[in-house]
Copies of this chain bind each other. A is one copy, B any other.
Amino acid sequence: MPEPRYQLRPIGRIEISGDTACLRIDEPFRPALEGLAEFGHVVVLFWCHLTDTDELRGLLTCERPYTKGPESLGVFATRSPARPNPIGITPVPIMRLDMAEGAIEVPYIDAENGTPILDLKPYEPSLDRIRNIRTPSWRAHWPEWNEDSAMFDWSSEFNF
């Protein structure tokens, strides 16, 4: 029995130049932005196009993906872009949204310039905001809030 496959198409691209980042939504999809700007944050789903290779999509474990973490971790225990279905997810603050231009200005986004965008969702606290967290001891020194990440020195934390 052939394995099912599902098809995705990009709805836009991430534009990064200098200190500015923009989610550029393709013209046909711009009506779908109506009402999004009332939310403070948008969850961006993007296609990790640089890791969309058979080899990287076949990786199931990572060797010490986090410098202070365990020797090996399954990819589903990481946020590595190399994974069977290379979809990245990150919530980002909405600074300005221009429906006519299909432009959402964001202060930053942890993705490469030109990355295809797959979907946008409002950051909905009743789903996405967890009060009581439990995390592994190896990442106990990391921030417990998105807002505190900007002040944290991430430079020596990742091996990917």
Q: Which residue of B lies closest to A10 (CB)?
A: B4
Q: Which residues of A contact B (CB under 8 A)?
A: 3-11, 28-29, 31-36, 38-43, 45, 47, 52, 60-61, 70, 72-79, 83-85, 87, 89-91, 116, 118-137, 139, 142-149, 152
- Report how far A31 CA is from B59 CA in the complex, Å: 10
CB distance from A41 to the nearest CB of B (A): 6
* 25 examples of A-B residue contacts, CB within 8 angstroms: A6-B7, A32-B60, A32-B84, A34-B72, A34-B73, A34-B77, A38-B134, A38-B136, A40-B132, A41-B133, A41-B134, A45-B89, A84-B119, A85-B118, A123-B133, A125-B130, A125-B133, A125-B144, A125-B146, A126-B142, A126-B143, A126-B144, A127-B146, A127-B149, A130-B146
